[in-house]
Structure 1
Amino acid sequence: MKIRRILATAVAAAVTTPVLLLSVTPAFADEKPAAQTQEKPSVAELEKAAAAAKAAYDDAVAAEDAAYAAWEALLLDTTPLAVAAKAAEAVAADAATAKTAADQAVVEAQAVVDALTETSTDAEKADAEKALTEAKTAATDADEAKTAADEALAAALDARDDERVAAGRAYHLAKQATETALAARTAADEALAKAKEEAAEDGEDGEDDGDDDGEECVPEPKLTTVVTGLPSTVVAGTKVDFKLRVSNGTDKTMDEVFPFVYVHATDRSGLNDIDDLVRLQWSSGSSKTWKTVDNEHYMDAISPLKAGAHADVRMRLAIDASAPAGNGITFVAGDYFNDNGSCGGNPDLEGYEFMIAAAGSKPGTVPDAKPGKTKPNTSDLTPQSGGSAGPSSGTLAATGSSDATSQLALASGAALAIGAGAVFVVRRRKAGSHA
């Protein structure tokens, strides 16, 4: 019962609205993230979370309506920049008309000069030449005035259109925020309903009824996950191999350890995710078969992983050739589950950022992607069973991911990976896209 109640909170945290996600983000830098230290979320706390999600959704709806109204208003011809653009169009049109007239005057003056004969008087010749010179000067002035008017018109149109595009972009983002907020509200409501159901089963507002039906999942920072060999730039249409090392830095054997990996990618704008064009696969050290990471982002269990030991999992990142240039990040974590019912996981997420280069690009030699936080010290860990060739150094279960994985989310950083992906996008938007 306790584990399922923890999971309900984990799900709510994983899909919380951007406002709540950003409030959680600083916790990743702490040694004991606040989101991970709450071991017994109450129904009252979940009710507060559901209320916050509803308020965030209501705010998002209001923000979307305001953004749409602002965008619609800027499409009118009565805005200051639209009026300025209209005036610039009129000036440019007058300048074009003036230039046409000046050019015609030159043609006519030239015709007069060309019509002079030997019988023409010196005064007639002087007058004709003077008229031609004046016409040419006027034509030059008219041409310069038209150029200036055209440049002013282009600048006015750019300013008007940029304002409209910015408003349209703001509306698009507001619309996306509303969709995210609605999903978060739905998840929070479902989590609350589930917690109430569990509380009813446990009795007395969900407090422990005395039955020892399972241990609480707890944070375990000494269960570490480290990626090596993942390039910092990956070309669309290619596959790259790298390694995930899972290390047990505790003094106790972990009966089953579930490696967690989650990849998130966007185009350069950061507005459009391209997760469906990015795929993660894994393979045990003894197998040549590549398996796709399941939809819960877990791999088969390493069973067991002894105290002070580590196991390696071969990984492969494949990016579809149709993927646009953009940015990606791979999150890794680890959870454990023991036969006696105890469970837990790493409270931190390691995020390895990489750029996606368009298909056909030749980035040359690139450095490996680096983790987003301090790399854990695993120097005192030794390969289990005297080897480090792969998960077989801690037997990788061949029966598939255990149902226990769904019970472990809050104990590790895994439950917050989706949220962290959203924060990554926000930060990318602020920092700007890679060239």
Structure 2
Amino acid sequence: MKIRRALATAVAAAVTAPAVLLSVTPAFADTQPGAQSQTQTQNKQGKPTIKELEKAAAEAQKAYDEAVKARDEAQVTVRKALDELTKDSHPLVAAAKAAEQAAKEAAAAKTTADQAVTDAKAAIAELPETATEEQKTAAATALSEAEATAATAAATKTAADTEAAGAVKAQDDARVAAARAAGAADKALDDALAAKVAADAALAKAKKEAEEEGQDCEPELNLTADVTGLPSTLVAGTTTDFSVRVTNGSKRHMDEIIAYAGVHATDKTGLKDTGKFFRLQWSTKASPKWQNINKHNYIDAVGALKPGARADVKLRLTVDKAAPAGNGVAFIAADFYNEDGSCGGAPGLDMYEFDVKAAGSKPGKPEDAKPAETTKPSTGDTGHKPQGSTSGTPVKTGTDGSLAATGSSSATTSIALAGGAAVLLGAAAVFVVRRRKAGSDA
């Protein structure tokens, strides 16, 4: 039987992930420059390893983050540039206003000069028949001078109009250039996002193929992970230390133990996921420094366990002071891997329910969080069983893998209302264990 553990975080993400991100495939890479030659090279050299794809995905993520930063900076720059272009103190704005004023004055001068020509012509027409030659000559000279002045005014106006149009165009060009810079940053961000989606899809596909082609694992109910010290009530703005004891209650040696720990939470309505306000860290005897739980929620520093042996993992759960009141569940489990390729673990995740109170609240004297019991296949083994009492409102799974309505705590109800039923379904009813594929970690 092939075993898989559906990570709570992965299931939760699947509930809200945009369809476009879930449907993109690595085929996108064929649309990128140089993709064809790169694909041909990969075909000759074989498929890229998971490690190489993880590196590519990390680089794509980094490029996307940088593109987001560049886009944000570009938007700030554009807003500032456009704002400056509305101020009279800006050189282009001042030049445009001056040129427009000069054009206005030139137009007025031309109008005056044209009127002088009109008046000079009228004066000649009104000369009496008795006008002397001197009067006629003076009138003609006045007309000639008026026409010359009008011609100069017309040329000045044309030049001023050209200058004003150029100044206004320079001002408009500056606005267009700023908008184009913002557009280029937006386009770069779109390209980076597309590359990131393609890289993530390629990595996900490779991991799925590795799981499907990897070693089959088997159920092992006698590998247990029991929580102690996790209170049933947490207060926002506080940090809680608790522990997980991993015990090999079987009769076999386990070469490597991988512990799993994750948290899912909602507000009181159960309609809002509040997981972003929680940070989970771990520490072991072999690795005493506190470390953040990785994105897969696995802790790979437990080591080997002989039959009957046990190991403790310290956990630290920090709830941000901005976290709203609500409910939460801590998911705990353990898997094993042996050098001979055998592997396994418990079919589901143990779920420990807790309440969350707003910052500044009094926690009172809460009891330890109780595990919500899940049905697991019987092995007939009389070895070690999970310690700790179960809650009076267990969450069970039916024969078809669905959640059975045998009762629910406030935490379970809220999570279900939030669409977190998918999380519980994946945690309690789906049996999934990671498998190593030769070369995937190379």
Fold equivalence (TM over 0.5):
no
Under TM normalisation by the shorter chain, which class is it? Answer: 0.3 to 0.5
Give the TM-score, by structure 2 length.
0.40
- The structure with the largest alpha-carbon Rg is 2
